[in-house]
Amino acid sequence: MITFEQVSVQYHESAEPALHGVDLTIPEGELCLLVGPSGAGKSTLLGTVSGLVPHFTGGVLHGRVTVNGRDTRTHRPRELADVVGTVGQDPLAHFVTDTVEDELAYGMESLGLAPDVMRRRVEETLDLLGLAELRGRALTALSGGQQQRVAIGSVLTTHPKVLVLDEPTSALDPGAAEEVLAVLQRLVHDLGTTVLMAEHRLERVVQYADQVLLLPGRGQTPVLGEAAEVMAHSPVHPPVVALGRAVGWSPLPLSVRDARRRAAPLRARLDGRTPAPATVPAPARATATVDRLAVQRGPVPALRGVRLDLHPGEITALMGRNGAGKSTLLGSLVGLHRPTAGSVRVGGLIPHQTRPKELIRQVGLVPQDPRDLLYAETVAAECAAADRDSAAEPGTCRALVARLLPGIDDATHPRDLSEGQRLSLALAVVLTARPGVILLDEPTRGLDYAAKARLVEILRDLAAESHAVLLATHDVELAAELAHRTVILAEGEIVADGPTPEIVVSSPAFAPQVAKILSPGPWLTVPQVVEALAAEEAR
C-alpha cells in the first residue's frame, strides 16, 4: 500500500539528512507502528506519506514514495486527501469548522462528494467512533479523547486507504488513550485500513501493532518486521518487553495479557519476596501546604476542597484524567490562580499575593510546553536572562545547564533543541532561583525513553538535595518508577493519596505494566524484579 524506494530527505538548514535510505513496503491492512528515538525522522517519514514533505515543509526528497500507486512527489497533499488521512498530536490544530457534524463532513465537502453520500457516511462514522451523542456539540467543548476521536473521524469519512497518525495518544490520559486505540484497532479489523502511527508511549500501543518500523537514527538503516522480532532488539521498548527480555521469554510477549500467561513461574519465584524499600525521606515540615483549596475557572469549579502537603525530599505524582484540575492545582501553587476558598502557602508565602521575584525563590513551575519559559535567542542568552531574573550569581544557570544537559553548545537556539533538551533547559532556568518546591506539568510529553530516563535521574538528584517535587503526569510508568507518593485527582477533588505502591497496584487505570503482570505482588518496575532475581541467584 505504501512503498518507499531509496527515500532520503534533506532539509536546507541542516547538514545531516533527516531521513536516509528508507526502502520498504507496508502492505495493505496492517497497523504499522513507527518507533525510534527523538530526532530519528519519524515525523518526516509520516510527512512523506501524506505529501506534506516536501510540498509543505520544503526540503529535498530523494527517491520515491507511492501511496496506493500515487507518487507523493507529483501529487500535492490535497490531491492525496482521498487516499491518505492525517491526524496529528493536537486535535485542536486540525479542526477547521466548529461543530462535530460539520467537522466530519468537511473533508467530504472538499472532495465534492454527493450530499446523500455525505449524509450516510457522517451517520456511519458517528456510530463507528461512538460520537453519536456529541453530534451537535462545539468542538472546543469536548474532552481530549473525544476531540482526538473526532479528528480521526473527520479524516475517515473520505474513506482513506491509509491513516497516518503522529503521536495520537501522547496528550491523553490513559482512559482516553484506550478509547482512541480501540477505535484504531476496529478500523484495521473491520475496514482493512492501513494505519501508520508514530508513538513514544509504546506501552500503550505496541500490543496493537502488526508490524513495527524501527528508525534507529544516526544514519542507521530502518528495520521493518513483526512486532515481537523488532522489539527484541529495539533500543526503545515498553516495560513488558524489558521484563520479557530480562527473564528471557521467547517469543517476546507484547501485551500484559500474554505476559501474564507466561509469568506464573516468575510469580512463584518472586513469591514471598518484596522489592527493596524505596528510600523514604525522613519526615520533615511541609514546605508547601494546600488547605481546603477551591478554585473557580470560568463557570466551572476546577478545584474543590483540596488538601495537600509537600515535603522536602519527596517526589509526588499527581494523576487524573484530562480536566481533573491538575494544572490548576500546580498553577495555584505558583499564584497563577486566586483561590475562591481555602489557602495555599509555599515556604510561608501566599503565592498569589507575593511578588514574582520573591516567589520564584520558593517555588518553580515547568509548564506543559517548556518553550513558554524560553524567549532568548541562544542558550547562553537564556542563562544570562535567568541569572538576571532571579538575581543569582552570573553563571549559576550555565552551571546548572552543564549539569543537566552536558555538552550543549552556547550558541544553540532553544527552538533547535529536542523536546528532552528543551525540558532540561527550562528546568535549569527554574532551578537558577533555588526554589525549594519544583512543579512539573506533563514533563514526559514527547520524550523518548532515553530522555525520560535522564529526567528520572535528574529529579531523583533534586529530591536527594531535599527539594520537594510535584509532577502532574499521565505517564503511569514514570509515576511508578519515580514517585514516593501518588495523588489522584478527579473532578477537582483528591480521591486517593498515599505511597505509590499502595495507590497504583490496585488501580486498573493507573497501574504500571509490571504491576499488572505480577499482581498481586508488590512489584512496580523492571529493575526491582531484576534486582530481586539477582539476589535470589546469589544465594
Looking at residues 163 to 222 of the shown chain, list those that interact with other proteins (rule: CB under 8 A).
Answer: none
Cα 320 to Cα 323: distance, rounded to the nearest angstrom: 8
Residue 294 main-chain phi, psi, to 5 deg: -125, 135
Among the listed ranges 92-100, 198-206, 265-273, 305-313, the one in contact with other proteins (CB under 8 A) is 92-100
State yes or no: residue 2 binds other proteins (CB under 8 A): no
State yes or no: residue 288 binds other proteins (CB under 8 A): no
* Site for other proteins, residues 374 to 413, rule: CB under 8 A: 375, 385-386, 389-390
**Cβ(436)–Cβ(347) below 8 Å:** yes
DSSP 3-state of 10? strand
DSSP 3-state of 353? helix
Smallest distance, other proteins to C-beta of residue 214, A: 25
Among the listed ranges 176-184, 197-205, 339-347, 360-368, the one in contact with other proteins (CB under 8 A) is 360-368
State yes or no: residue 479 binds other proteins (CB under 8 A): no
Which DSSP string corresponds to 158-208? T--SEEEEESTTTTS-HHHHHHHHHHHHHIIIII--EEEEE-S-HHHHGGG
Angle made by CA atoms 43, 46, 48, in degrees to the nearest 5: 110
State yes or no: residue 226 binds other proteins (CB under 8 A): no
Helices 115-128 and 100-111: crossing angle in degrees, nearest 10, is 140
Among 69, 112, 248, 272, the residue binding other proteins under the rule CB under 8 A is 112
Q: Nine-digit cell at 370?
A: 517548556
State yes or no: residue 482 binds other proteins (CB under 8 A): no
Among 5, 6, 25, 115, the residue binding other proteins under the rule CB under 8 A is 115
Residue number with CB closer to other proteins (119 or 257): 119
What is the distance of C-alpha 454 from the center of its chain? 15
State yes or no: residue 336 binds other proteins (CB under 8 A): yes
Among the listed ranges 84-92, 257-265, 451-459, 526-534, the one in contact with other proteins (CB under 8 A) is 84-92
* Site for other proteins, residues 22 to 41, rule: CB under 8 A: none
Among the listed ranges 4-12, 112-120, 231-239, 476-484, the one in contact with other proteins (CB under 8 A) is 112-120
Q: Closest by alpha carbon to 483, among 524, 429, 431, 519?
A: 524
State yes or no: residue 138 binds other proteins (CB under 8 A): yes
Residue number with CB closer to other proteins (393 or 537): 393
Among 33, 80, 176, 379, the residue binding other proteins under the rule CB under 8 A is 80
Give the end-to-end CA distance of the chain in Å, rounded to a whole number.
Answer: 55
Q: Which residues contact 180 (CB under 8 A, 6 or more apart)?
A: 145, 148, 149, 152, 168, 169, 172
Residue number with CB closer to other proteins (144 or 239): 144
State yes or no: residue 522 binds other proteins (CB under 8 A): no
Among 82, 167, 203, 314, the residue binding other proteins under the rule CB under 8 A is 82
State yes or no: residue 300 binds other proteins (CB under 8 A): no
Smallest distance, other proteins to C-beta of residue 411, A: 19
**Cβ(365)–Cβ(333) below 8 Å:** yes
Among the listed ranges 10-18, 88-96, 285-293, 455-463, the one in contact with other proteins (CB under 8 A) is 88-96
- The torsion of the CA quartet 43, 49, 52, 57, rounded to 10 degrees, works out to 50
Among 96, 276, 411, 453, the residue binding other proteins under the rule CB under 8 A is 96
DSSP 3-state of 522? coil
Residue number with CB closer to other proteins (119 or 292): 119
**Cβ(164)–Cβ(86) below 8 Å:** yes
State yes or no: residue 122 binds other proteins (CB under 8 A): yes
What is the distance of C-alpha 391 from the center of its chain? 34
Query: In this structure, which amino acid lies at residue 539?
Result: R
Smallest distance, other proteins to C-beta of residue 55, A: 8
Smallest distance, other proteins to C-beta of residue 337, A: 10
Q: Closest by alpha carbon to 425, among 375, 363, 478, 477?
A: 375
Residue number with CB closer to other proteins (138 or 534): 138
Among 21, 88, 281, 522, the residue binding other proteins under the rule CB under 8 A is 88
* Site for other proteins, residues 409 to 448, rule: CB under 8 A: 429-430, 433
**Cβ(241)–Cβ(490) below 8 Å:** no
**Cβ(429)–Cβ(438) below 8 Å:** no
Cα 204 to Cα 183: distance, rounded to the nearest angstrom: 14
State yes or no: residue 118 binds other proteins (CB under 8 A): yes
Among 108, 243, 303, 504, the residue binding other proteins under the rule CB under 8 A is 108
Residue number with CB closer to other proteins (179 or 387): 387
